[in-house]
Amino acid sequence: MKRRIKTINPANETVENEFPDWDMDELLPIIDSADHAFLKWQRLEFNERAVFFTKMAQILRDRAAEYAQLMAREMGKPVSQGEVEIEKCAWVCEHYAEQTAAYLADRNIKTENSESFVTFKPLGVIYMIMPWNFPFWQVIRGAAPTIMAGNTIVLKHASNVFGCAVAIEQLFSDAGFPDHIFSTLQTGSRTSPDIIAHPKIRAVTLTGSERAGQQVAAEAGRNLKKSVLELGGSDPYIILEDADIELAVASCGASRMLNGGQVCIAAKRFIVVESIQEEFENKIIELMKSYVMGDPLDVITNFGPMAKVKLRDELHQQVLKSVEQGAVLKLGGEIPDKPGAWYPSTVLTGVKKGMAAFNEELFGPVATIITAKDETEAIAIANDSEFGLGGAVFTRDVKKGRRLARDMIDTGTCVVNGFVKSDPRLPFGGIKKSGYGREIGEFGIHEFVNIKTVVVS
């Protein structure tokens, strides 16, 4: 019998839809078609490609409510947050429609030759492996620069958001893109090694777990293909003794609880200087209490279920393990007695190195508070992690905050007096076990092009 992939509503554990799980013999013609489409697409001028993305931006805005409801049903994102996600997708489409010509303009370099310059040429078919937590944004933010640069894409989305994957392929069609510029592959991860090895796949990009990143990097390396990885994070937010506590609490809470805490760049470790630890702790607990679980399809809900029961259970085990190791449970930490992937907003204090809440990524609505003696120890704790995606520092001394963010905190992004957000104008990515390469911004569009030197003697 043909394998099927089911999408499950995490609010009630009912089946939303079923999709066939394609084998390689069904995927090969799609990859071949994407390569054939590339041969024509690469010859278009930037302004010709931009027309399609400008149209896509308008369709995204027109369908924001529809797409937000689809995300809510497949992975539990509140519709209010889903509509914000769709608006951000429209923004990234418009950004690259407007900026690609400048980002990829030829660059003259003075040498002894009569002419020498660098030009940027597309590679071909790019294999994209994307996660469920931002089902539209993760795909569109990668597709806009990659396709505007002249490449084509085949997508393997997370299996629990296949409805979103199919909708995105239809979105490209409705925006008027030629056939096979963007194609969705309805397949599980079992086919990825063969897809990466396919001679017409020129590069691969993945957003996902550390383990998935290791597997994809190994396959890409084995086949000598470029890869970009955006993996997990355990983002440190340092609250110094001169911080604006109200601002720090609001920023930490908003970052931690966006999308129910299921965000790679969410605030994960609140590192607080001990002189203000009690005040910060009391206020962050009160803020976390204000997040009440609700129906993600209700426009007033800001905190829905987690994406899967399995993920909820794994998070709960991390909380229990941390308490066994000496952390103090100050809020939440109990699974509700009802169907669905529900987990309450939770606060752990007294977290120290060696505990699960310190060493591992907690991908859900759990805030961990770590006390530091002073600024020096706070920075040391922040950097004592295998991850290096994002981070923040809170201080009224902006000059000091800028110096710490620039020179002392070991992450791909660091914010002073705010929280980390991806922005189409700025490069995004991590270091250490948070991955390598960059997405979005000018640096992101350069990942999947041939940076070609031309010399005229």
- Is 264 catalytic? The answer is yes
pLDDT tens column, 222-245: 999 999 999 999 999 999 999 999
pLDDT tens column, 104-114: 999 999 999 99
Statement: residue 2 has pLDDT above 80: no
Alpha-carbon separation of residue 188 from 33, 43, 155, 185, 314 (angstroms):
20, 33, 11, 9, 21
pLDDT tens column, 426-437: 999 999 999 999
How large is the average pLDDT for residues 127-133? 98
**In the structure encoding, which two tokens stand for residue 45, read together?**
């001028």
Count CB atoms within 10 A of the CB of residue 48. Answer: 10
Four-point Cα dihedral 74, 80, 81, 87, nearest 10: 100
Task: Give the pLDDT band of residue 271 (cuts 50, 70, 90).
Answer: very high
Alpha-carbon separation of residue 427 from 16, 263, 413, 437 (angstroms):
36, 17, 9, 9
Task: State the architecture of 4-231+434-456 in CATH terms.
Answer: 3-Layer(aba) Sandwich (3.40)
pLDDT tens column, 44-73: 999 999 999 999 999 999 999 999 999 999
- Is 89 catalytic? The answer is no
Long-range CB contacts for residues 421-424, cutoff 8 Å, separation at least 24: 421/265, 422/137, 422/141, 422/265, 424/91, 424/92, 424/95, 424/96, 424/141, 424/144
**In the structure encoding, which two tokens stand for residue 333, read together?**
């930490």
Report the side by side order of strands in the sheet with 328-331: 328-331, 346-349, 366-372, 267-273, 235-239, 390-394, 413-416
Distance, CA of 216 to CA of 236 (rounded, Å): 27
Is residue 5 within 8 Å of 23, Cβ to Cβ? no
Question: Where in the chain do CATH 3.40.605.10 domains reside?
Answer: 4-231+434-456
Statement: residue 210 has pLDDT above 80: yes
Which is the catalytic residue, given 264, 375, 414, 439?
A: 264
Statement: residue 1 has pLDDT above 80: no
What is the reported pLDDT for 3?
82
Average of per-residue pLDDT values in the chain: 97
DSSP 3-state assignment of 54? helix
DSSP 3-state assignment of 95? helix
This prediction's pTM: 0.96
Distance, CA of 457 to CA of 447 (rounded, Å): 29
Distance, CA of 441 to CA of 428 (rounded, Å): 8
What is the reported pLDDT for 154?
98
Those residues whose C-beta lies under 8 Å from the C-beta of residue 39, and which sit 6 or more positions away, are none
Statement: residue 447 has pLDDT above 80: yes
Q: CATH topology for 235-425? A: Aldehyde Dehydrogenase; Chain A, domain 2 (3.40.309)
Statement: residue 9 has pLDDT above 80: yes
Question: Where in the chain do CATH 3.40.309.10 domains reside?
Answer: 235-425
Which is the catalytic residue, given 230, 281, 375, 439?
A: 230
